[in-house]
Chain A
Amino acid sequence: MKRKGKFVRFFVKYAVKTPIIYLAIVIIGVSAFVSLTLTTKVPIFETYSGFVSYTDHTYSIKIDKEITGDVSTIFLYIDKNTATYRINDISVNGNTVTFTTNDDEAIMLLQTTSKLSFDVQISSMTLFRQIFLNGGKN
């Protein structure tokens, strides 16, 4: 009981009356959030569109601009809000992206249309930047 009273007095004095603990928690909380968002890297995607062709069990998509950097994965789609398909182990050669896939649904998509789009992770940025400068928009 005595201990409880002591704690209450301590709490009122340092967390409420002179809000030292209060401000300390604010600082700790804000710092934790900021450091967490600064250390979290979120991927930045860029969307490309092109025409697909199929030769020798390999699909090729010819796009109108070059992909820069090392790319190994793309997310293929016609309508992004309907379905996207992850394709790994792609190779980029200038304006052409080539890959093979065993994903039946992706194959069906590739056979349905000649024009399609894909998202490529081109870089990453901190979550902090993504929230406060980009507003979550890619």
Chain B
Amino acid sequence: MQKSSDKPIKLNYITAFKYLGKYMKGHKLRFVAFYIGWLLDSAAAVIAPIIFGMMINEIVYYKDTAMFMRLSLVFVVLTIFNCIMYYLIYQVYAYNWIMFILGIKRDVFQHMYHADAQYMSNANTGELINKVQWYTSECMHLVVRNLVHTVNNALIVIFCTIYIFIISWQVGLLMLVIVPVAVIVSIKFGKKIRHYGDKRVEYFNSYIGWIFEILASLRDIRFLGAQKRADRKFVKNHKKLFKVNIDSGLSSMHAQNVINVVNTLIQMAIFTFIALFAANAGITIGLIVVIVTYFGMLTSNVQNLSGSYFDAQNRISYIQNIYDFMHCPTEEKWGGKNDLIVKDGNIQIENIKFAYDKGNKVLDNLSLNINPGDRFALVGKSGCGKTTLAYMLIGFYIPQDGTIKIDGQDLRDCSLKSIRNNIGIVQQDVLIFDGTIKENILLGKPNATDDEIILACKNAGIYNFIEELPDGINTVIGSNGVGVSGGQKQRIAIARIYLKDPKIIIFDEATSSLDSETEEQIHEAWKSILSGRTSIIIAHRQSSVMLCEKAAIIDDGKICEIGTPNNMVQNSKNFKTLFAVKESEGDA
């Protein structure tokens, strides 16, 4: 797991590999084997022309068929060995690919749970999916294409250069001209390409995020007749992506073209030189073959090196995206270590201040005292800070000022684990994953027995429904199984809470999307679970508020009124206004 305390940096070639190095540790042997394979492949590529050149000399000059055949045998053995190596290299590569990337994916995935809730609330879903699913693959590409192949390409370039220098220093010098040209061009264009790479990642993330938003609101788009606007935005997003892709591609192509032109000129000079050399019998045909082959290898490897450098710039942008995410603030900053022990369930909120952005205050000096065992309703307009306050109680957000005490213990001194064990939350959107009812309910208490689950289901009022299903609590629900209604989802959430058995429960607009009849049934289920516990009910419906002993209205980040719901219904103008508007909206 990445420690967020490490200072994030702008990655470069070396720091990117250093960062990925820790993920390679567990696969060292396979990576070494993989590298040895490619190294041998490069060695074979270098040796083969020498043997081939010798074969030509033996047959052309000395007509020595026996020696030719003997050398052919070595050549064949080398080729067969290479073929077997290729097969094995790709098997190891495929395995490494899966295991290495899985390690990074898991780390990124786990980090999502530990990342600061405030940071995560700003992250878009598409970007997170890109990180887990696509950018992690680029890590392997960087290791294989930009490390293994780069090192081998460099070794081939060095070997070919030395070899040609030994045969003819004049040809060697000519060949060497290409190397500094490629280096200068690569550095010059590399920065540009990295800039485009960063931009591409930014645009792509925002585009994918937008696509997710659109897919989630397809019905609204149809309903509002906003198809044309969405289509325009789609094209605009693509144009932006095309532009940055074209800019990046053009830069890369310009660089490659400069290298190619210089390369062609050098090639012509070398061929002329070799022709003159050969005409004066200073060189054998076999050696000409070796030199020409090596020149081809040298230029293609120099091109690969510069191409690999350009690709690396784009890849480092993707890895930077992962790196930055892994260095985002995490819940580690919470710092509390003590166990929260809730005996009575008294909640004291004193002078809480909180803002998501500077100047955009959500809670401003909010104070509140909730007595043990109270059912307390929090009401107010949308965006007034009710949910923010609930999230503070479970340690998602940290108050910028003020304290929250539960039974006299400052929440900041307590560990997040103990806080979340003692405070349960039921939200409007209940997580139901593909699996059995039992598996879904076990999220509340992983080691619960079947009897405990059944009891929880009975108390949550969902057991009648489960009994009618062919496999009972083992029936698969979710997108691949039996569909469950909003009310049934709420009951599953209540069953989970039963099993979890927290001392304090928060219902955050849990019944907002349910019809009145279902809401009434859910309220019945609430009654049994709420007895003997302190509960906070964040509600937009009067019926939910009326279940409570006390209610507070939040306005402008402060508590503006507090009292019993019955009293408020009769005497509070704010209460009447709030629910008159809500009820009429609900009726409409």
Which A residues lie at the B interface, using CB under 8 A? 11-12, 15-19, 21-23, 25-26, 29-30, 32-33, 36-37, 40, 42-43, 45, 75, 79-81, 84, 86, 119, 127, 130-131, 135-138
18 of the cross-chain contacts (CB-CB < 8 Å) are A12-B95, A17-B95, A22-B33, A22-B91, A29-B85, A36-B77, A40-B71, A45-B62, A75-B61, A80-B61, A80-B284, A86-B62, A86-B63, A119-B62, A131-B47, A136-B51, A136-B287, A137-B166
Q: Which 3 A-B pairs have the closest CB atoms?
A: A136-B50, A29-B81, A19-B33
Interface size on B, residues (CB 8 A): 41
Q: For B81, B163, B287, which residue has the most chain A Cβ atoms within 10 angstroms? A: B81
Chain B residues contacting A81 (CB-CB under 8 Å) are 278, 281, 284-285
- Say whether B50 contacts A135, CB under 8 Å: yes
**Residue pair A136, B285 in contact (C-beta under 8 Å):** no
Q: Would A127 and B74 be within 8 Å (CB), given that A19-B92, A135-B167 are in contact? A: yes
CB-nearest residue of chain B to A136: B50
Chain A's nearest CB lies how many Å from the CB of B463? 44
Q: How far is the CA of A79 from the CA of B153 in the complex (A)?
A: 38
Check if A127 sits within 8 Å of B284, measured CB to CB: no
Q: A15-B88, A33-B77, A135-B163 are contacts. A26–B67 as well, Cβ < 8 Å? A: no
Does B29 belong to the interface (CB within 8 Å)? yes
Q: A40-B74, A135-B50 are in contact. List 17 more A-B contacts (CB 8 A).
A: A16-B91, A17-B30, A19-B30, A22-B88, A22-B92, A26-B33, A26-B40, A26-B85, A29-B81, A32-B77, A40-B71, A42-B67, A79-B281, A81-B284, A119-B62, A131-B47, A136-B50
B29 touches A42 (CB 8 A): no
* Most chain B CB within a 10 A radius of its CB, from A43, A75, A136: A136
Contact residues, B268-300 vs A (CB, 8 A): 278, 281, 284-287, 290
- Is B253 interfacial (CB 8 A cutoff)? no
Q: Which of A18, A29, A75, A79 has the most CB of B within 10 A?
A: A29
Taking CB atoms, residues of chain B closer than 8 Å to A136 are 50-51, 53-54, 286-287, 290
B54 close to A130 (CB less than 8 A)? yes
Q: Is the pair B40, A36 in contact by a Cβ cutoff of 8 Å?
A: no
Docked complex Cα distance between A138 and B285 (Å)? 12
Residues of the A chain whose Cβ atoms lie less than 8 Å from the Cβ of B51: 127, 131, 136
B417 within 8 A of partner (CB): no
Considering only CB atoms, which chain B residue lies closest to A29 in the complex?
B81
Determine which of B37, B53, B63, B67 lies in contact with A43 in the assembled complex, contact meaning CB atoms within 8 Å.
Answer: B67
Contacts of B94 in A (CB 8 A): 16
Binary per-residue interface labels of chain B (7-21) against chain A in the complex, 1 for a CB within 8 Å, 0 otherwise: 000000000000000
CA distance in complex: A86, B95 (Å): 56
**In the bound complex, what is the Cα–Cα distance between A30 and B40 (angstroms)?**
9
Contact with A along B418-459 (1 / 0, CB 8 A): 000000000000000000000000000000000000000000
Which residue on B lies nearest to A82, using beta carbons?
B281
Q: Which residues does chain A contribute within 8 Å of B77, judged by CB atoms?
A: 32-33, 36
Q: With the chains together, A8 CA to B67 CA distance in Å?
A: 42
Given contacts A16-B91, A42-B67, A84-B62, contact A29 B286 (CB under 8 A): no
